[in-house]
Structure 1
């Protein structure tokens, strides 16, 4: 599977369905899972069981990552980013940098197979909020 470099709904990122390839690029430990981004809520519900008490929150949240049973996910509100994910249904997503480093365009372009740049360009922006969901509670992680 190819690795895309693109502007995500939050920041510039690597996207792929190949988590091993992303681990290699980022020089990241293999026990740290990647975020899964979904093109829409319908695709998300097929993969992840969201507690009923939180479905409305997850459906309407933008630029927000949720964790349920150690799986991090987000559905994309940004139509430009969603259009990239749509043919795949979902992609792993991670910030475009080496683990613990800041964004360096030359490095990112050298390790990406496909660079998707639109009128927004590629720019580092703030990360999403992260919430842990249980059947009865919400806990903010970031």
Structure 2
């Protein structure tokens, strides 16, 4: 697996672009280069290589599914639990993730397939589900962002 390529894959909630190359993702999505991406990780051990989870939130992060947490360090990270998505992600350990639609628009499968370097088909196909929840974690408190 080449971490610089952009992959189109079905994530837990929507069809998404995945890559370890933020420049390629920004170019495809026509986003400002300063805007950050969500990071998907394959395990709690990989999460620990990015940030420290405070004692108050450890169980919450470990048990959450389809939930992204924004940490005090400025990173937004989701630990993937979906078996099919995890099968792909285990090969990279982590990747930046974004929806596969043009910025501010709905899912368009033709657009997504044109922009991706590699397309990962599953038996479920590509679909858009409700977005994941996002919580900002402080040292002690938690606030819902979405």
TM-score (norm 2): 0.94
Contact kept? 1:35, 1:92, Cα under 8 Å: yes
Q: Secondary structure, in 3 states, of the residue corresponding to 2:95?
A: strand
Partner-residue secondary structure (3-state), 1:135: coil
Question: Please, what is the CA RMSD of the aligned residues?
Answer: 0.8
The residue number in structure 1 matching 2:25 is 22
- Asked if 1:105 is matched to 2:104, the reply is no
* 4+ residue runs over 3 A deviation: none
SS in 1 for 2:136: strand
Instruction: Give the CA deviation at 1:97.
Output: 0.8
Partner of 2:94: 90
How does 1:47-62 map onto structure 2 within 5 Å? 47-62=50-65
* Residue 12 (structure 1) aligned with residue 18 (structure 2): no
**Matched pairs, number:** 142
Runs of 5+ unmatched residues, structure 2: none
- 1:60 positional shift: 0.9
1:117 to 106, 121, 132: 121
1:41 paired with 2:40, answer no
Q: CA deviation at 1:103?
A: 1.0
Once residues 86 and 48 of structure 1 are traced to their aligned partners in structure 2, the CA distance between those partners, rounded to angstroms, is: 19
TM-score, normalised relative to structure 1 = 0.97
Answer whether contact 1:2 1:113 (CA < 8 A) is retained: yes
Equivalent in the alignment of 2:136:
132
Runs of 5+ in structure 1 lacking a partner?
Answer: none
Q: Distance in 2 between matches of 1:30 and 1:102?
A: 21
Offset at residue 81 of structure 1 (A):
0.5
Distance 1:117 1:87 in 2: 16
